[in-house]
Structure 1
Amino acid sequence: MPAPHVPLPPTDRVLSPRTGWTRAHWEAVADSLLAGVAPYATPGLAQYRLPGRGSWSGLVSDGLEGYARTFLLAAFRIAGAGGDVDARLVERYAAGLAAGTDPTSGEAWPRLTDCSQQMVEAASVAIGLHETRPWIWDRLDARVRERVVDWLSGFVGGRTWDNNWRLFQVVSEQFLASVGAPYSQADIDGGLDRIDDWYLGDGWYTDGDGRNFDYYNGWALHLYPLLRARIAGDEDGDRAKVHRERLTAFLRGYAHFFGGDGAPVHQGRSLCYRYAAVAPVWMGALTGATPFEPGLTRRLASGAVRHFTERGVPDERGLLTLGWYDTFLPGTQPYSGPASPYWASKAFLGLLLPPDHDVWTARERPLPVEEGDQYLALPVPGWLLHGTHHDGVVRLVNHGSDHNPPEPADAADDPHYAHLAYSTHTAPQSAPRAWKRTVDNHIALVGADGTPSRRVRIHPLGTGDRRASSWYAARLAGDAGTAEYRIESTSLLHGPWEVRVHRVEAPPGATVREGGHALADGTRPTVSTGPHWAVARRQDGLTSAVVGLYGWDEEAAVSRDIEANAFGPHAAVPYVESTAHSGGRSVHVTLVVLSGDTVHPRELREAVEVSVDGGEGPDALDVTVRFPDGTELHA
């Protein structure tokens, strides 16, 4: 597939049989991205005011974001080439530093104040300055260096949000220390000590208190501590050693998050950063903390960037947009402005490795999903990953991450965390009207007015080999916010199939509804329904199906929507539903399929057997699922 908006060199299928990409492709994409933003620079080059929806931080902050995040990319490009780049690139960002820190320039950056967006961007500036010391920092006029130090010094003794933001202070003050400027060692140590509180094992941090598991684990919580170590020059220090060990543990399972087409699983917030998801892979290689063969590092990273580049990212203007492929604002957060997607710059960390490094010269190795069907249990976040070799699809089953603070704090649901499953080939329905209905990948009680219950807090019950469980407290509109009904769900994996066993408490009159994966495309998916099943199919053959195996009505349906999904304007979600509940407890078993194969739901319903045995309550019931090959799984 050609890259529609980026001129690329010829592919090398000997060195890179999977992607065809070489270091030259990475340099070409970096150069294209840097050229794309150039027309949007302010006269003094201190801000890049890109078109698009502004963030809640305002125009000037968004302009600083444009400078800082593209400076990070420029820094990797400059340092990776040993300064052998077009001199105008170095001059452009040096001039921006001078203007941005000059209060009289008319383009001055906002001062760093407690919990301000400027803190995020200052960290990128500090990292960029460290990586380009010989070409930018060391050549700056002394007065400009003093102004940069003065601006960054707003961090000293300052307060950040109590999450990954603590690390922006850490790296920025470490840079101040490296240039002999005043800084607070207590700030640095305090930030690093705080993330220790969030480390839960096996390479996984929660982003702040709670169960906040997503890509911030890789592109922030693992990344910045080791970037700090690069600035401090203490890679062999005890603290850096611990951070390298944690990164290694995380990376052992991380290759399983990427599909055969290179796409990362679509889960969590800030997904407009796209291929920033490969930043921890490069950091592993940079620090010797990787468990990967060099050819796998490059295959994973090149595959992800190639995936988006071939699908029109950047766009015809040369810009990264607020979306996944095209602009799609419902999939973004209000803190994201038009330059926010340029945190994708972190993906280019690999350019800091010299051209003769093994990651650039070794032959590509296949991803796990390219070698065979894969299952991976991640007990800390409460996730199961399962990938299928024949179609390259990777699915994430979620029984653990809800992105909420601990009780008794208020909590809310979010389409990028609350669902039972995500994948490399689908996205949740996130437009407000669709999210209000919350059909896809959700088990809900539905009240008489049609309002579904929300999976707000996920309470994990266990994650193991091909099996994970959790429960949530369902509430119905009109119950005065006091009545709660426990819905306990267990996912059982077999090939491309996920069987969900639900033990449901419900009031009389409520119905139970469950949806499968939302299929979205540029054209309307074809749909079909039958007794106990519903199917949607995209033009490329990807199929989403739900089959009611036990406890469901015969009628099934497909929910359609427009402009509700990051993968395309036309979306379809198959679902099954029960009759009005008699009250009390019930069991519902569903087969959920997302596959590149043709799905035959009628035959599947006949071939997959379910037996329910046991005592009075759902907790005493044993559910056995028998698959066509004779495999038995229990819930």
Structure 2
Amino acid sequence: MLRRKFLHYSSLLGLAGSLPITSLQVANRTHVNGEVQSDRSYWTSLLYKIAAPVLSNMSQGKLKKNMPVEYSSSWDNRNKDLAYMECFGRLMSGLAPWLALADDNSPEDKQRKQLREWALKSYANAVDPASPDFLLWDKEGQPLVDAAFLAQSFIRAPEALWQPLDKNTKSRYIQQFKALRRVSPPYNNWMLFAALIETFLLSINEEYDAFRLQIALNKMSEWYVGDGWYSDGSKFHFDYYNSFVIQPMMLDIRTIQLQKNKCSKADYDLTLKRAQRYSSYMERMISPEGTFPVFGRSITYRTAIFQPLAQLCLLQQLPDGLSNGQIRNAITTVMKRMFSIEGNFSKEGWLQLGFAGHQPDVADYYLNSGSMYLASVGFLPLGLPENHPFWTDNAEDWTSKKAWNGQPFKKDYAVDY
């Protein structure tokens, strides 16, 4: 039964994915093989296609058995079992807000309920030593990274994903999260993984390491280079790690701190303003054709580069001058451009190494096909209900499309915060 459901939704998405770029019309609704599909339906079908193989298998303790893992050709010989933790943790970080929506008997509700049911079983298996899908928690340093993405999923959907877990499972997560204090993170974005885990413990009123959290915030403040950009450590790297990790985790940490009276409103507002400024760059990165520049490491995370922009849509905190219809139209265009290319998924439906299609040589030495599931964080606006203006506003052109079509557009100036 589960397999039939998955194949049904996969086939729907496959129709959209096989169309040439010239036939993809981006608006509130898109014509696919004579049928009308809303932008939201496209997003939900695509995210379901990404998530279903992972969660349907892991909920049964069969992820390790059935997931084909592809490793970078320059793989550095770290423990290969890390792939499963990367896959599950990263997927859930982006999937969480959608699963947090209340049941509403909408057409997408069957997808969402099914994924939530699978996810809760998968969370339990991830920390159950008796499960075949018990994840790699206690070897090497990499588990710190993907445990942080799991913690982030709980922060983003506590009522849907943390509270329903049984007492024993919750205890196991708390134990594993605290045990990861054995990992001393290098002085770069990894400090935020340690801080995010401590932030989650703070959010559930559990004992947390305040120093481990604060030192990360202090270093990020020190590494802020201006105009919305943080340096990833003492030396600036021009890549998308402000998108993948830094800006979203800074904002999630400050949000919980503010709720718990552990930071000032001014601290939160500054973090938000920097995230807004950075996100304005991400919007301007999208070309009139729906592409964006390919530079820096980890480019195979695909739609994850839009995480800060997607997060601000979810929080309803878009920068001045950017509208819901503008951002939805721009990101939808990119998704359709990227996922219309053959090879993003294997024949069995799993994400593969690559940027647009199957491009294994693009993968960095630390990447495997499980790593690719960070792409889910580009889908955060699905946490907004279907009647929200993000989904109902008319599609608008984004900045570069306006500029290159001779339309008026907002000029850009540096900021000094």
Matches within 5 A, 1:562-581: none
Contact map agreement 1:270 1:333 (CA 8 A) in 2: yes
Structure 1 45/197 Cα, relative in aligned 2: closer, same or farther at 3 Å? farther
Aligned to 1:37: 54
Measure the CA separation in 1 of the matches of 2:402 and 2:293: 18
Q: How many residues align?
A: 374
Q: 1:269 & 1:4 partners in 2: Cα distance?
A: 33
Percent identical among aligned pairs is 22
Partner of 1:515: none
Pick aligned residue for 2:87 from 66, 70, 74: 66
> How far apart are 1:275 and its partner, in Å?
1.1
Report if aligned partners of 2:298, 2:363 keep a CA contact under 8 Å in 1: yes
Distance 2:127 2:55 in 1: 20
* Residue in structure 1 matching 2:173, options 129, 135, 148: 148
Cα distance in 2, alignment partners of residues 298 and 71 from structure 1: 22
Of the candidates 212, 215, 218, which is equivalent to residue 187 of structure 1?
212
Q: Are the equivalent residues in 2 in contact too, given 1:323–1:332 (CA < 8 A)?
A: yes
Determine which of 233, 244, 262 is the counterpart of 2:290.
Answer: 262
The Cα of 1:356 is off from its aligned counterpart by 2.5
Q: What does 1:123-522 correspond to in 2, within 5 Å?
A: 123-156=148-181, 158-232=183-257, 234=259, 237-287=265-315, 288-291=317-320, 292-312=322-342, 313-373=344-404, 389=405
TM-score by length of 2: 0.80
SS at the partner of 2:85? helix
Q: Structure 1 residues 18 and 211, CA, compared in 2 at 3 Å: closer, same or farther?
A: farther
- Output the amino acid matched with 1:290: P
Give me the whole-angstrom Cα distance separating, in 2, the residues matched to 1:250 and 1:142. Answer: 40
1:117 aligns with 2:125: no
CA contact (8 A) 1:256 1:369 kept: yes
Q: C-alpha offsets along residues 98-157 of structure 1, whole Å, 9 cap, x if unaligned?
A: 2221233343222356x7111111111112123332233212221111001101112447
**Secondary structure in structure 1 of the residue aligned to 2:225:** strand
* Cα distance in 2, alignment partners of residues 70 and 17 from structure 1: 26
Structure 1 residue aligned with 2:40: 23
Separation in structure 1 between the aligned mates of residue 363 and residue 191 of structure 2, nearest angstrom: 23
- 3-state SS, counterpart of residue 346 of structure 1: helix
- Does 2:79 match 1:50? no
Q: Distance in 2 between matches of 1:198 and 1:50?
A: 39
What is the CA distance between 1:71 and its match in structure 2? Answer: 2.3
C-alpha distance in 1 between matches for 2:181 and 2:92 = 23
C-alpha contact 2:302 2:355 (8 A) present in aligned 1? yes
Alpha-carbon distance, 1:253 to partner: 3.0
Q: Distance in 1 between matches of 2:155 and 2:39?
A: 26
1:26 Cα deviation (Å)? 0.8
**Deviations, residues 216-262 of structure 1 (Å, cap 9, x unaligned):** 12232111111223444639733221111111222333322112221
- CA offset at residue 315 of structure 1? 4.5
Residue pair 1:274, 1:324 contacting (<8 A) in 2 also? yes
Match of 1:102 among 123, 128, 138: 128
* Kept after mapping to 1: 8 A contact 2:96/2:156: yes
Identify unmatched segments of 5+ residues in structure 1.
374-388, 391-463, 466-635
Q: Residues 573-592 of structure 1: matches in 2 within 5 Å?
A: none
TM superposition score normalised by structure 1: 0.54
Structure 2 residue identity aligned to 1:328: Q
Amino acid at match of 1:22: D
1:26 aligned partner, one-letter code: W
| Greater C-alpha Rg | 1
Kept after mapping to 2: 8 A contact 1:5/1:314: no
Q: Classify 1:264/1:58 alpha carbon distance in 2 versus 1 (closer, same or farther; 3 Å).
A: same
Return the offset for 1:321: 1.3
Counterpart of 2:145 in structure 1: which amino acid? V
Cα-to-partner distance string for 1:559-611 (whole Å, 9 max, x where unaligned): xxxxxxxxxxxxxxxxxxxxxxxxxxxxxxxxxxxxxxxxxxxxxxxxxxxxx
Structure 2 CA distance for partners of 1:254 and 1:95, relative to 1, 3 Å: closer
CA distance in 2, matches of 1:321, 1:261: 24
Q: Conserved in 1, the CA contact under 8 Å of 2:97 and 2:382?
A: yes
CA apart distance, 1:329: 2.5
Please state whether the residue corresponding to 1:213 is helix, strand or coil: coil
Gap regions ≥5 residues in structure 2: 1-10, 18-22, 407-412
Partner of residue 479, structure 1 = none
2:211 is matched by which residue type in structure 1? A
- CA distance, structure 1, for counterparts of residue 44 and residue 234 of structure 2: 38
Alpha-carbon shift at residue 350 of structure 1 (Å): 1.0
Q: Deviations over 1:400-448 (max 9, x none)?
A: xxxxxxxxxxxxxxxxxxxxxxxxxxxxxxxxxxxxxxxxxxxxxxxxx
1:289 to partner: Cα distance: 4.4
- Distance in 2 of aligned mates of 1:310 and 1:13: 13
Contact in 1 for aligned 2:303/2:375 (Cα 8 Å): yes
Per the alignment, in what secondary structure is the counterpart of residue 200 of structure 1? strand
Q: Match of 1:339, SS? A: helix
C-alpha contact 2:243 2:305 (8 A) present in aligned 1: yes
CA RMSD, 1 decimal = 3.2
Tell me the amino acid that sits aligned with residue 161 of structure 2. Answer: I
**Structure 1 pair 219–14 and aligned structure 2 pair: CA distance change class (3 A):** closer
Structure 2 counterpart of 1:23, which letter?
R
Between the aligned partners of 1:237 and 1:157, the Cα distance in structure 2 is 32
Q: 1:268 to 1:13 in 2, by over 3 A?
A: closer
**Match for residue 76 of structure 1 among 71, 83, 97:** 97
Question: Which residue matches 1:6?
Answer: 14
Q: CA separation of 1:122/1:334 partners in 2, compared to 1, >3 Å: closer, same or farther?
A: same
Q: 1:12: Cα distance to partner? A: 8.2
CA 1:5–1:350: 2 relative to 1, 3 Å: closer
Letter in 2 for 1:241: D
In the alignment, is the contact (CA less than 8 A) between 1:273 and 1:342 conserved in 2? yes
Q: After superposition, what is the alpha-carbon deviation per residue over 1:511-564, rounded to whole angstroms, capped at 9, x for unaligned?
A: xxxxxxxxxxxxxxxxxxxxxxxxxxxxxxxxxxxxxxxxxxxxxxxxxxxxxx
Q: Would you tell me which structure has more strand in proportion to its own residues?
A: 1
* Relative contact order, higher structure (CA 8 A, sep 6+): 2
Letter in 2 for 1:245: K
1:291-322 CA-to-partner distances (Å, cap 9, x unmatched) read 31121111222122111121233344322211
Judged with a 3 Å threshold, the aligned counterparts in structure 2 of structure 1 residues 250 and 67 are, in CA distance, closer, same or farther, namely closer
Following TM superposition, by how much is the alpha carbon of 1:68 offset from its aligned partner in structure 2, in angstroms? Answer: 1.4
